[in-house]
């Protein structure tokens, strides 16, 4: 039996992993900013009419999604 190799070029594979890394970093930083209680973001949530607990829940979910990526 022969080893199964990917039919995608290496640049596509590296590009995909690069996009995943960038997306993970952006989501993690946004979630950490929420968990640290960034006042500007908290004010936006209040203006939208969301409760405070939803602000922190969103931060936790963003960090968790970044970890899972």
Q: What are the pLDDT digits (tens) for 7-63?
A: 888 999 999 999 999 999 999 999 999 999 999 999 999 999 999 999 999 999 999
Give the pLDDT of residue 8. Answer: 84
pTM, 2 dp: 0.77
Residues 6+ apart with CB under 8 A from 42: 52, 55
Q: What is the pLDDT of residue 20?
A: 95
| pLDDT at 7 (0 to 100) | 85
Residue 6 has pLDDT above 80, yes or no: no
- DSSP-derived letter for residue 2 is P
């Amino acid at each position: 039996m022969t080893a199964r190799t990917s039919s995608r070029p290496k640049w596509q594979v590296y590009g995909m992993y690069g996009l995943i890394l960038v997306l993970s970093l952006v989501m993690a930083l946004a979630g950490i900013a929420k968990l640290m209680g960034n006042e500007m973001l908290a004010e936006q949530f209040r203006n939208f009419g969301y409760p405070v607990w939803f602000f922190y829940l969103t931060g936790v979910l963003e960090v968790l999604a970044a970890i899972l990526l």
